[in-house]
Amino acid sequence: MARVPAKALGDAGVTGKTVLLTGASKGIGAASARALGEAGAHVVAHYASDEAGAREATAALPDERKLLVRADFADPEAPHRLWEEAVAWRGRVDVLVNNAAVMPATPLAARDDEWRDGWRQALQVNVQAPADLTRAAVLHFVEHGGGILIALSSWVAQRGPRDPSLMAYAASKAAVKALTQAVARHHAQDGVLAYVVAPGVVGTELSVIAAERTGGVDALLSGLAMGEWVPPEELARLLVFLESGRVRHLTGATLDVNGATYVR
């Protein structure tokens, strides 16, 4: 019988775990920070510029269970500094959630400089920064007997974007999905659990901006099976469940959360 890593058989909840959550100031990240706080986790809440949003999202957490860290992922050195600060806080990190992302418009008809700049943004913030954090986390998890990695991908990584100007965003979300699945496959026996969450259209500021480029919010919602956004709070509850490690053999899976608009 295959050996089950000792760490994976430990506490199945999130109480007392240290979770590094990127992009904690808005949308899915803010809802997740609140849900983690309610579940008893210690939260390292990362933000790029919206400190007020991160503070609001973690307002209910006692000071000893939260650490707010600013890091602009446009800076290639920022992910390393964020990881080091997160580990230094409590001596280890149990869960990494790669949530932070940008959604630059990269239409084919854009000027060459705009096209390249959009791709640079998407690849640096949505791919390279999560990859750097993932690398640090996996090495840390292996050393400490296990850990959990969650990446926020998107349904556009699988079905293509409704908005043709989001090609770079879609490609970046496909890349982070592949990265996380590779970790799941190659580090399962090290006690590292890795999951991909692929939301559909979530009720966030980014989704509203994208909708306005393709006919508006009403037109977007009319094309969804449930006729409504995916609530960030539902994704937050799913993330807390995954962070608990309750179903180890779900590692490597991509969980679609889109209200049955895209079924595969």
- Helix, coil or strand: residue 95: strand
The letter for the amino acid at 263 is: V
CB 145, CB 131: distance < 8 Å: no
Burial class (CB in 10 A: 0-12, 13-18, 19+), 91: exposed
CA dihedral 184, 187, 190, 193 (to 10 degrees): -10
What residues pair up with 95 in beta bridges, in sequence order? 19, 148
- Residue found under tokens 């940008």: 102
By annotation, the residues acting in catalysis are 169
Chain-centre distance of CA 143, in angstroms? 23
